[in-house]
Structure 1
Amino acid sequence: LDALARGLLVIAFLSTVGNLLVCVAVGINRKLRTVTNYFLVSLAVADICVGAIAIPCAILTDIGLPRHSLYLCLLMLSVLIMFTQSSIFCLLVVAVERYVAIFMPFRYQVLMTSRNAVLVILATWLLAFLIGLVPLMGWHKAPPDSGYCFFVLVVDMTYMVYFNFFACVLTPLVIMFLIYAQIFVMVKQQVRRIASEQSGRGERQARAAASMRREVKTATTLFLVLFLFTICWIPLHIINCFLLLCPHCPVPLELLLTAIILSHANSAVNPFLYAYTMTAFRDTFKAIFLCCRIVEDREASNRYPPCTKEYDPLFFCLTLQI
């Protein structure tokens, strides 16, 4: 458990810092303030909560704390379910937003406004919290005599498998994969059509082709976010299925610990994916680090000229328009 705790603390740090960076990037760069990125910020906030709240709670419950306090124990065990469910809903609304952008482009500006995005985000968080609080509403095991707060002794596996996994995780994942499959088929057809008409319409078709390439790149990045989420979380849910459907089947401790670390690690990977695949995010991250370096250099030496809007690099970074 010491190795598990150390690994989880590293993940918590990376998740908190990396996703804070995503939020700051969208905040300082106007070109990143799109409806899609608002949903990604909501996803980043969920991952920050995983790093700052859920992982510390997981470390405490791994050693059986708190003792003799069932409802506090259930709350600490439920927070990860809440934030994970919020992440799933964020991924789902991103997939729906991309579907609307490609299949209903003329209605996109009406449907996908900033106000509607905020309302959808609030609704997803509310629903995620209600799903996560179900164990506190009574769907849990009887408290163990020892009073220790261990996940398998307190949380009912019928809730985790039938309600949480099959209904609230697997069903949205299947819907999202079907949406992205339709998107990629549609984009492929459009690319072929544009290519066949390329010689006839010149500049207009070139612009359409460039726009379609941007859509493909965006959809590919968002699909990778979904794919990584699935890869990270499915192993733990499969283990939960074994614990419920085959209670006498041995589950190696090493396998269980690996699945737990993998599920938590998902909260830390998205900022790296954005930096690798999205030029606007990558450039904004670089600008943020450059500002930090300038501040450190300025504190170490007073040889800089007075701060002006025209010449101060820190001002340039914070008002960056990429």
Structure 2
Amino acid sequence: MSSVCKIIGVESLPVIYVHSAAILCSHFHILAVSMDRYVAIFCPLRYEGIMTSRVSGISIVWMAAGLFWLLVGLRGNIKLEETNYAVSMLIIFLFYAILVTVLILYVRIAVIAYRQNRKINDQATTPGNRISRATRTLASILGCYYFFWLPYFSVSSYIILFNYNEYHASEVLVATAAGLLLFASFNSIANVFVYAFGTKAYREWICAKCNCK
């Protein structure tokens, strides 16, 4: 993470903390979206009772508390090699844990969407595409996440498992990992465009705002 700060020309603890929090929020975002869509599809009648403002607030508080104590625990030790190794292992573990969880959720969502599409097509004269549009939007979000993050975690897994002792001595590995991490940070920006162009409500909102201007 400190290598990324060197690339952008700012290396300080607050910047490293903000960058670390942004990385973790990117992972938690894809998990939260997946859980939300899972509940919406599998419990449509109970969705409003489950996904309330109170539940969302509690989740945000717990997530913010976890991020806060994680960053406080790193204070003063962020430049130690042991701390950097531990942080790298933690982020890689979170990535693969979220990878497995999200894949399970999306496989189940895809199965139920396929079954419902078949029912709609069998009962209607014109094929329905409401679920397929939702599925495409979810697939775009997931594909965007892996497009930005998979290269970094592939290289990081190789470094951690096979080449960590030579990592700091190799300028190529350091520059590659830092560049891929900086590239992965654009995932959150890409999500804005995925929502904007993949969801009708967001497109109408943007068009309305542009017309106002």
Q: TM-score, normalised by structure 2?
A: 0.79
In the alignment, which of 193, 196, 202 is matched to residue 122 of structure 2? 196
Gaps of 5+ in 1: 1-53, 67-72, 143-152, 200-205, 293-322
1:164 aligns with 2:91: yes
Give RMSD over aligned pairs. Answer: 3.1
Amino acid at match of 2:85: M
Name the residue aligned to 1:135: 74
- State how 1:295-310 maps to structure 2 within 5 Å: none
1:118 aligns with 2:61: no
Q: Deviations over 1:60-93 (max 9, x none)?
A: 5447755xxxxxx444323222122122222212
In the alignment, which of 158, 164, 187 is matched to residue 242 of structure 1? 158
Distance 1:121 1:109 in 2: 18
Identity %: 24
Q: Deviations over 1:86-105 (max 9, x none)?
A: 22222212211211111122
1:248 alignment partner, SS class: coil
Residues 65, 196 of structure 1: CA spacing in aligned structure 2 closer, same or farther, 3 A cutoff? Answer: closer
How many residue pairs get aligned? The number is: 208
Gaps of 5+ in 2: none
- State how 1:147-226 maps to structure 2 within 5 Å: 155-160=83-88, 162-166=89-93, 168-198=94-124, 210=128, 213-226=129-142
Q: Which has the larger radius of gyration?
A: 1
| Partners of 1:90 and 1:121 within 8 A in 2 | no
1:287 aligns with 2:208: yes
Residues 141, 262 of structure 1: CA spacing in aligned structure 2 closer, same or farther, 3 A cutoff? Answer: closer
Distance 1:281 1:257 in 2: 33
Name the residue aligned to 1:145: none
Q: Give the Å deviation of 1:133.
A: 4.1
1:105 alignment partner, SS class: coil
In the alignment, which of 32, 57, 64 is matched to residue 93 of structure 1? 32
Q: TM-score, normalised by structure 1?
A: 0.55
Q: Give the Å deviation of 1:175.
A: 0.4
| Partners of 1:83 and 1:128 within 8 A in 2 | no
Name the residue aligned to 1:275: 196
Distance 1:121 1:240 in 2: 28
